[in-house]
Amino acid sequence: MGFAYVRVTVHGRRGSREFRMLADTGSTYTVLSPESISELGLMETPYSVELTLADKRRIRAALFLAEVEVAGRRGPVLVVQVDTPTPLLGVYALETLGFKVNPKTGELEEISPEGGYLLNV
């Protein structure tokens, strides 16, 4: 399987921006650089998380709240601030929006008709 890159629009308090993100099934959270988070004015939460990076280093990162849009679906996501050359779309965001990565094609597939954030009330 190759890499799955996706066009993602991130909405913040200061505007929106489209990113080419790697859909990373090994990443829990969506990852953006400090510059992108500042530019968009994402809302910082009072929480931070400990992450293990691909090179096995462990870091603590601040959590931010954003809204993302992929293929016409919008939903809330938690974003971690990590200085990275490639923005990542994590598993929580994929599931919230109702997508999964097809391991054979490397493309996104719908797992629910309206997104994964529907509630049974």
What's the rounded Cα separation, in Å, for the pair 99 and 93?
9
The parent domain of residue 18 ranges over 5-110
Would you say residue 116 lies in a domain?
no
For residue 34, what is the domain's CATH number? 2.40.70.10
What's the rounded Cα separation, in Å, for the pair 41 and 37?
6
For 17-58, write each residue's pLDDT tens digit. Answer: 999 999 988 889 999 999 999 999 999 999 999 998 888 899
Would you say residue 115 lies in a domain?
no
Q: How confident is the model at residue 121 (pLDDT cuts 50, 70, 90)?
A: very low
What's the rounded Cα separation, in Å, for the pair 62 and 32?
11
- Tallying the residues shown for the chain, one arrives at 121
Would you say residue 121 lies in a domain?
no
Q: To 5 degrees, how large is the angle CA 70–CA 82–CA 67? A: 30
Quote the number of domains for the chain: 1
